[in-house]
Homo-oligomer: A and B are copies of this chain.
């Protein structure tokens, strides 16, 4: 990076884009925003925006996240940086993509900050996206699936207290395949990261024990390598 001599420099604008996931109704969902201006007017897009002076990339991502959803303290991870020359018709825009996980109980029902429409879409049937956001979303889903298998990111999608069945549903929604209840619970027990808490929950049938994730605070840190092999 050291600009040593005379090298051609390009005027670039840098944005952050956010793939904000939640799981509701047993579906992996993503927050999208309907564009009110060209280009891609009327098209849905990932939330995002320009970085500001004196602001780190991660800070910009957290700020955009808070602006769109009002939430803070969520799992956030840098995904990839997209900078192909043609990706934005208005000029050279390099975007640093992040993905975030929001617990279902903290995901606002309709996340609208201003006049723009904003809503959750099931990833499986989202509308066509603006720019190269289709590719960003696909990559985010792939990364989330992978990460789910060897970390504990999945816990970020649940409220503080949850039942084991709820946890399993989240995993099944993201991975897109059913998991065996006994194997799932055995591995959880082996990890030893769940604490039962006082209380049970029943909607129908036998009430279920509530649990909390004992490493909750710690695992908010990026790239924690706790193994979670499904």
Question: What is the interface of chain A, defined by CB distance below 8 A to chain B?
Answer: 1-5, 7-17, 33, 35-37, 40, 45-46, 48-57, 78, 80-85, 88, 90, 92-96, 116, 130-131, 133
| Interface SS of chain A | loop
Copies in the complex: 2
A52 to B85, CA, bound (A): 10
A133 to B45, CA, bound (A): 34
The one of B5, B13, B36, B54 in contact with A4, judged by C-beta atoms closer than 8 angstroms, is B36
In the complex, the 3 A-B pairs of residues with the closest C-beta atoms, listed nearest first: A1-B15, A57-B83, A1-B48
B130 touches A83 (CB 8 A): no
B83 touches A1 (CB 8 A): no
B7 touches A49 (CB 8 A): yes
Min distance, Cβ A53 to any Cβ of chain B, angstroms: 5
A3 touches B94 (CB 8 A): no
